Amino acid sequence: MNKLPFNFTSVPSTWELCFNKDCTHNDTCMHYFAGQHLPADKMMGFAIYPMPCRTASAGST
C-alpha cells in the first residue's frame, strides 16, 4: 500500500495535538499523528493533556 503525503498545513488551527507516546490509541489517533508532525516553528496551540489518559487507565471515571 502506498502512503499518502502529509502536509501539516491541512491540520486545522484549533485541532488538539497529542504527544502521549504511551497512549494505547496512538497507533490510530490523528491527534497523536499530527503531534508527531508538528513543525519546529509552531510555538503554541491546543493540546490534549495526559492526565485524563492516566486517570482513565487507572480505572477511574
Counted domains in the chain = 1
| Per-residue pLDDT at 50 | 78
Identify the domain containing residue 53 by its residue range.
Answer: 15-61
What residues does 47 pair with on adjacent strands?
17
Residue 32 in contact with residue 18, Cβ under 8 Å? yes
Give CA–CA dist 25/48, Å, rounded.
13
pLDDT along the chain (61 residues), means of 10: 86 95 92 95 91 58 44
Examine residue 2 and state whether it is found in any structural domain, yes or no: no
Examine residue 50 and state whether it is found in any structural domain, yes or no: yes
| Per-residue pLDDT at 56 | 56
pTM of the predicted model as reported, rounded to 2 decimal places:
0.76
| Per-residue pLDDT at 58 | 55
Which value, in Å, is the radius of gyration of the alpha carbons in the chain? Answer: 13
Long-range CB contacts (within 8 A, 24+) of 49-58: 50/19, 50/20, 53/20, 53/22, 53/23, 57/24
| Per-residue pLDDT at 52 | 60
